[in-house]
Structure 1
Amino acid sequence: MATETEVGEPLHQRGWRTAFTVAEKVSAWAALVGVIERGYGDDIYEYTNDLSCRNWLHEAWLLLDDHIVQLWTPQIKTVDDRYRTATVDDDGQALEQFHKLPGPDLWWWRRHPRILTGDLGRSLRSASAIGTDPDTA
């Protein structure tokens, strides 16, 4: 089993662009959720790329020592809960118009931001996503 700094190397060998640490990816996930809570205005392709930071954490959890999983799980659960609050579950119907959805265990791909703004909002609305528009609220 890997430590929180060692886990990045086998994931890098699997195709991730660099050997990230758990702390880096937890921070990236929290930062993304913060942007989603305020209204993610970038385009659909940046959004799906950004969403993959949660995939990394999912993959890393399978390789990490149990005590590291126990240490980080409460923080990730808190960010996951914030993500659920800031998003709408549509079983991935809107996102799958633009990106092939991964398996059902990657539940974050089956949700889209509640606040639909900017390029992402326009794209998701074109795929029949329902949410709020901060510009008309």
Structure 2
Amino acid sequence: MDGESLDGEDYASVHLATQSLTPRYFGTLTLNARLEGWAEFVTDVEDGFDSMWAWQFDNDATHRDWLHDAWPILTERVRRVRQPELDALDERFRAATAPMTPFGTSPSEMAEQTRWWRFRYPLRVTGDPDAELPARWSPPPVHIE
């Protein structure tokens, strides 16, 4: 964490985020666990998302939702220390996904979405090449072996 020491207030903000978001996200996971979960999902998408789990893709993005909701609860120092890691993961996710344009929304409107990760789909998939994919994944992702 760039050698910057966190203090009791910082740790208390992480604890508060964990506790206050638990009811909404059905599980007590720490900031570290949520960042690790987001990193694992990003890696899965980069490697080619398994088409068997296509209908679970949105559920897998909940780690990013949690991070979005936790960020304002965290102290400025925690955000400053962890922001580069989150930014790098977000950039990797953008590079491995394509934007959706649901229900006639323009690309510029989509770019303004607060939860932008909810409006993207994987560029590459693995698994059964005949598996049905969500219609919003258009054009269809490239199937890789």
TM-score normalised by the chain length of structure 2: 0.75
- 1:31-110 equivalences in 2 (<5 Å): 31-41=40-50, 42-92=52-102, 104-110=113-119
Q: 1:129 aligns to what SS in structure 2?
A: coil
Shift of 1:45: 3.3
CA–CA distance in 2 between the matches of 1:128 and 1:40?
A: 12
CA–CA distance in 1 between the matches of 2:35 and 2:41?
A: 10
Check if 1:9 corresponds to 2:12. no
Aligned position for 1:28: 37
Residue ranges of structure 2 left out of the alignment (5+ in a row): 1-8, 104-111
Residue ranges of structure 1 left out of the alignment (5+ in a row): 94-102
RMSD between aligned alpha carbons?
2.4
Q: 2:61 aligns to what SS in structure 1?
A: helix
Aligned position for 1:133: 143
Shift of 1:18: 1.9
TM-score normalised by the chain length of structure 1: 0.78
Answer whether contact 1:116 1:122 (CA < 8 A) is retained: no
Q: 1:6 aligns to what SS in structure 2?
A: helix
After TM superposition, which residue ranges in structure 1, 4 or more long, deviate above 4 angstroms?
none
Higher strand share: 2
The letter for the 2-side match of 1:74 is: P
CA–CA distance in 2 between the matches of 1:119 and 1:74?
A: 36
CA–CA distance in 2 between the matches of 1:62 and 1:27?
A: 19
Q: Which deviates more from structure 2 when the two are superposed, residues 43-52 or residues 30-39?
A: 43-52
Q: 1:62 aligns to what SS in structure 2?
A: coil
Shift of 1:128: 5.4
CA–CA distance in 2 between the matches of 1:22 and 1:128?
A: 30
Q: How many residues align?
A: 124
CA–CA distance in 1 between the matches of 2:128 and 2:31?
A: 30
